[in-house]
Amino acid sequence: MHTVKTRFAPSPTGLIHLGNARTALFSALLAKHFQGTFLLRIEDTDLERSKEEYTLALEHDLCWMQCRWNEGPDIGGEYGPYWQSEREAIYNRYYKKLEELGRAYACFCSEEQLNISRKVQRIAGQAPRYAGTCRHLSESERQQKLAAGLKPVLRFQVDDGAVIEFEDLVKGKQKFLASDIGDFIIRRADGAPTFMFCNAIDDAFMHVTHVLRGEDHLTNTPRQLMILQALSLEAPIYGHISLILGSDGAPLSKRTGSKSIRELEELGWLSDSVLNYLARLGHYYVDNDFMSFQQLAEKFAINNLSSSSAKYDPQQMLYWQKTGVAQLSNDAFWHWISSDDQFSPDIIPAALRDTFIQAVKPNVIFPKDAWHWANIFFANDWLVNPAQEESLQTTNPNFFNTALAAADTHGADLVAVVNAIKENLGVKGKQLFMPLRIALTGEEHGPELALIGQLLGAEKIKQRLNDATLLLK
Ligand code: GLU
């Protein structure tokens, strides 16, 4: 086998979302697994919709996902340029060759004629396909139409009797009849190449060995194989990945939670967490360990790609985020929460930074959660809401006075304070912890009390317990 070469070939018409991010990830993991090459090609033939800002954005997002390419627009490579808009000369060479081989011809049929032809086919119970009207135009008929100013498209002429069979890496054996497909367009009337054509030419020209892409492209593959075969170009092996479905069973959309990679990054998702989730969406890993990109690649296996659709599960993605946060070193955690520019790290005294991290890490999913806690401890930005005030009314009437007396004796040692309340009042469980946590933090759950004590210090503890006495009616 050649060295494995995979590619990601996005059209820069928007931000990358979970679906195409997964396609990029699988392609990058497959290349890495075999120490092969991963290339990035920008499919910008739709000049109107393609924008440079999207190319820059997707390059940034792929880097964030650790899917760095070895050949591509910014770094070049042997088979560039890596923007399709700059590869016209290459496509023209192959158009010419197909025409010389008698496998491509100019078609002048108008949209109106095509519509009528399709209607007739439908009425006759046939699947609509191009009827081959312009296949047999004579040279003089062609010249006449050109002289009349008609702009033809270029069609690929299928071999009517051909059967196209291939083994899809994910979907298994596939079989299509050329006669069902009909002659299809490979160059538009304005001279622009169609996706079908340039995508196939580029994969062959760039020596891509494995194409992983969405199953929505499955029916394009027989067309692309016919083009490559006619040109005696080596075709890659294709694998069509099943779609990601939203909770409503339809393809994942914005409405059902699809997010762009950019949004995830801005919300503070960890790259490793997103990778651990996506790599398991339609691909099976034997173990459930949190893995680095390198480990995900080592254990990536084509045979573990699922042929049935994968369901997007936000809870599962959160699980990987929590797992990712738990793995962060203190420095990495600090760096991560500091990346949220809405908050100032200065409110946390340097001497308490490690204690703060130790306290909040198990309670944090996104950087904003860490800042929520920082404000509670250091900015006095906390509040007992009406529902909490209500639930405090069931507290033992002597609770806060007992707690205050204990705090006088034990200072910031909240474990000792808890024990004193327990001994003196005989309360335990929720009756013990809920009022204390609400009084000290405005939250019913959160970091370990011992650490909360260290972060607040004796003075603040007493002040908050004192304030809480006023809440009991
Ligand atoms: N530009 C195509 C797309 O974004 C690429 C499809 C393929 O991977 O072959 O859908």
In a domain, 33, yes or no: yes
What share of the chain in percent tops pLDDT 90? 91
| Largest Cα–Cα separation, the chain | 108
Question: Could you identify the atom of ligand 1 that is nearest to the CA of residue 8?
Answer: 8
CA distances from 411 to 116, 457, 459 (A): 89, 8, 8
Same domain, 309 and 209: no
CATH code at position 97: 3.40.50.620
Same domain, 277 and 228: no
CA dist 330 and 464 (Å) reads 29
Instruction: Put residue 12 in one of left, alpha, beta given phi > 0 → left and psi -120 to 50 → alpha.
Output: beta
CA-to-CA dists, residue 74 to 89, 189, 203, angstroms: 20, 31, 19
Q: Which of 262, 161, 471, 409 is nearest to 436 (CA)?
A: 471
Question: Strand 153-156 vs strand 104-107: parallel, antiparallel, or unpaired?
Answer: antiparallel
**199 pocket-lining for ligand 1 (C-beta < 6 Å):** yes
* 191 and 111, same domain (yes or no): yes
Average pLDDT, the chain: 95
Q: Is 165 found in the same domain as 271? A: no
Of ligand 1's listed atoms, the one at least distance from the Cα of 212 is: 8
Return all residues near 93 (Cβ < 8 A) that are at least 6 apart: none
Residues 113 and 216 in one domain: yes
* 224 lies in the same domain as 130: yes
Q: What is the distance between the alpha carbons of residues 94 and 10, in angstroms, rounded to a whole number?
A: 22
Q: Can you tell me which atom of ligand 1 is nearest the CA of 203? A: 9
Domain harbouring 467, CATH code: 1.10.10.350
Indicate whether 297 belongs to any domain: yes
User: What distance in Å separates the CA atoms of residue 129 and residue 26, rounded to the nearest whole number?
Assistant: 34
% of the chain surpassing 70 pLDDT = 100
Q: Which atom of ligand 1 is nearest to the CA of 23?
A: 8
Ligand 1 lined by 97 (C-beta under 6 Å): no
Question: Quick check: 239 pLDDT over 80?
Answer: yes
Report DSSP letters for 127-185, one per residue.
PP----GGGG--HHHHHHHHHTT---EEEE---TT-EEEEEETTTEEEEEEHHHH--EE
Residue 85 and residue 82: Cα distance in Å, rounded? 9
Host H or E run for residue 407: helix 399-410
Residue 149: predicted pLDDT? 96
Task: Record the pTM.
Answer: 0.93
Displacement of CA 305 from its chain's centroid (Å): 17
The pLDDT value given to residue 254: 82
Counting ligand 1 atoms within 8 A of each CB, the residue from 6, 195, 198, 221 with the most, and so the one to mutate, is: 195
Q: Are residues 108 and 237 in the same domain?
A: yes
CA 29 – ligand 1 centroid, Å: 18
Question: Does the Cβ of 9 fall within 6 Å of ligand 1?
Answer: yes
Cβ 222 under 6 angstroms from ligand 1: no
Query: How many residues make up the chain in this entry?
Result: 473
| Cβ–ligand 1 contact at 11 (below 6 Å) | yes
Task: Report the phi/psi class of residue 467: left, alpha or beta, with left for phi > 0 and alpha for psi in -120 to 50.
Answer: alpha
Residue 203 pLDDT > 80: yes
Distance between Cα 332 and ligand 1 center (Å): 36
Q: Calculate mean pLDDT across residues 455-469.
A: 95
What is the DSSP annotation of 30-75?
A: HHHHTT-EEEE-B----TTT--HHHHHHHHHHHHHTT---SBBTTT
Per-residue pLDDT for 231 more than 80? yes
| Residues 230 and 266 both lie in one domain | no
Both tokens of 397, joined, read 């009437």
- Distance of CA 241 from the midpoint of ligand 1 (Å): 12
Nearest-angstrom CA–CA distance, 426 and 219 = 72
CA 405 to chain centre: 54
Pairwise CA distance, residues 155 & 196, whole Å: 11
Residue that is last in its domain, among 241, 257, 278: 241
Whether 402 and 423 have beta carbons less than 8 Å apart is answered as no
101 shares its domain with 224? yes
Question: What local confidence, expressed as pLDDT, does residue 255 receive?
Answer: 84
Distance 9 CA to ligand 1 centre (A): 5
Verify whether ligand 1 is closer than 6 Å to residue 213 (CB atom). Answer: yes
**Domain tally for the chain?**
3
Q: What is the Cα–Cα distance from 106 to 92, expressed in whole angstroms?
A: 14
In a domain, 226, yes or no: yes
Closest C-alpha residue for ligand 1 atom 4:
10
Tell me the pLDDT tens digit for each residue of 26-72.
Answer: 999 999 999 999 999 999 999 999 999 999 999 999 999 999 999 99
Beta strands in 306-464 (DSSP E): 310-311
**What is the structure's pLDDT at 384?**
84
Distance from Cα 41 to the centre of ligand 1, integer Å? 10
Last-in-domain residue among 208, 241, 274: 241
Residue among 169, 186, 176 nearest 230 (CA): 186
Segment 293-330, tens digit of pLDDT: 999 999 999 999 999 999 999 999 999 999 999 999 99
The pLDDT-based confidence of 2 (bands split at 50, 70, 90) is: low
For 370-408, write each residue's pLDDT tens digit. 999 999 999 877 788 889 999 899 999 999 999 999 999
Return the pLDDT at 194.
Answer: 97
Cα 251 to Cα 244: distance, rounded to the nearest angstrom: 6
For residues 256 and 248, give the distance between their C-alpha atoms in angstroms, rounded to a whole number: 7
Are 21 and 258 spatial neighbours (Cβ–Cβ below 8 Å)?
A: no
Q: Could you read off the pLDDT of 111-154 as tens digits, one per residue?
A: 999 999 999 999 999 889 999 999 999 999 999 999 999 999 99
Residue 358 has pLDDT above 80, yes or no: yes
Per the structure, the complete domain to which residue 142 belongs is given by 87-241
298 and 200 in a common domain: no
What's at 71, amino acid-wise?
Answer: E
Last residue of a domain, one of 210, 241, 272: 241
CA distances from 229 to 151, 184, 295 (A): 28, 15, 37
Q: What angle do CA 56, 58, 63 make, to 5 degrees?
A: 100
Q: Which atom of ligand 1 is the closest one to the Cα of 7?
A: 8
Is the pLDDT confidence value at 1 over 60? no
- Tell me: do 102 and 121 sit in the same domain: yes
> How close is the Cα of 11 to the center of ligand 1, in Å?
7
95 and 181 belong to one structural domain: yes
